[in-house]
Amino acid sequence: MDVNVPDARPMPDTAALPAAAWRGRQHGWTLLLLVVAFGAVPAAIAATGSSYLAQIAITATIFVILSASLNHVTGTAGLLSIGHAAFYGIGAYAAALLSTKLGLPFIVTLPAAGLIAALFGLLVALPTMRLVSIYFAVATLGIGEMIYVILLNWVDLTRGPMGIRGIPPVELFGWQADTLLSRYLVVAAVAVASLWVLHRLTHSYYGNALRALREDDQCADSMGVDVVRLKIESFVVATFFAGIAGALLAHTSAYIAPDNFRFMESILILAMVVVGGLGSLPGAVVGALFMIVLPEALRGIGDYRMIAVGVTMFLSILLLPKGMLTEGVALGFVRRAFARGWATVAGGKPVGWK
């Protein structure tokens, strides 16, 4: 009788790389992100002096946060949310009202907007997390439309369709971001910090638990995973970062209106996640940049640009159904680095996560 014997082969060659080599690769990707965010893009803005380019960079970076946050709940945890723009709007209006009505500074309104959006996310999650599949998606759609209608019609608080004007710009400890370049740098700094937090959550044992309930929540429940609690937590985290993105929009644009947070914005954010790669944090970043930059790059062809964008999206899904940067590619690199980090080095001391 054949007996299956566990594979006793040594770890792949990638795991045998020196710890310094793996740390170098990880630091290399981090350095690349920092160079692009704080070097290449600001240099291009300063060299061209183009306010148009600066505004595109700010918008794209804000949508990177939105795409990464939706990827956390939809890509990693498997909960299809199609009302994400509503929490984006809650964060924007929270920051706008706190700064214009109460005179609170940016250093306070930014986290406050995230916390207020997360609180609304918790109130939505508690009664809906036992819904599955399309039923949860329809519930988030209904909540999103309800929040939009409230923003549109609660004139005494939100000023309705007139929106809120005169939102103070970003100010930190006496320094005011009064130029588009300085505003971009603030948004980029917040985006990098947000991506770092989401990266640590996604590529951890906690992230593995989220992926387990995405693949089979009943099996995960039978293994002792608190499925409902994890779903609520993932949704709250996603709405917190959506609120952060909304606060950045409010303080960098100085004006917000309900039309900024309609259903089509939620669909745009979802398209970013799908095109980039469901479950892949790098894919969420690439998808956001693709969906914001491509339509602007095609402005030269006039009314045909949206047709070109639609054809490009269709071909990308047809030829790359798992996205531009798939979850497998993203997890493969991180898990090899994770395995290397917990390997035992000479002397018997475990390295741990690096």
Q: What is the pLDDT of residues 158-192, one digit of tens each?
A: 988 999 998 998 888 878 888 888 899 999 999 99
What per-residue confidence (pLDDT) applies to 329? 61
- Average pLDDT, integer, range 94-108: 93
Q: What's the whole-model pTM score?
A: 0.84
3-class SS letters over the chain: CCCCCCCCCCCCHHHHCCHHHHHHHHHHHHHHHHHHHHHHHHHHHHHHCCHHHHHHHHHHHHHHHHHHHHHHHHHHCCCCCCCHHHHHHHHHHHHHHHHHHCCCCHHHHHHHHHHHHHHHHHHHHHHHCCCCHHHHHHHHHHHHHHHHHHHHHCHHHHCHHHCEECCCCCEECCEECCCHHHHHHHHHHHHHHHHHHHHHHHCCHHHHHHHHHHHHHHHHHHCCCCHHHHHHHHHHHHHHHHHHHHHHHHHHHCEECHHHHCHHHHHHHHHHHHHHCCCCHHHHHHHHHHHHHHHHHCHHHHHHHHHHHHHHHHHHHHHCCCCCCCHHHHHHHHHHHHHHHHCECCCCCECCCC
Domains of the chain, by residue range, sit at 34-262
Could you give the percent of the chain with pLDDT greater than 70?
83
What per-residue confidence (pLDDT) applies to 16? 44
- Average pLDDT, integer, range 218-231: 84
Choose between 2 and 183: higher pLDDT.
183
Model confidence pLDDT, tens digit, residues 261-317: 999 999 999 999 998 888 888 888 988 998 898 888 888 787 788 888 888 888 888
What per-residue confidence (pLDDT) applies to 336? 59
322 falls in which pLDDT band (50, 70, 90)? Answer: confident
Choose between 216 and 110: higher pLDDT.
110
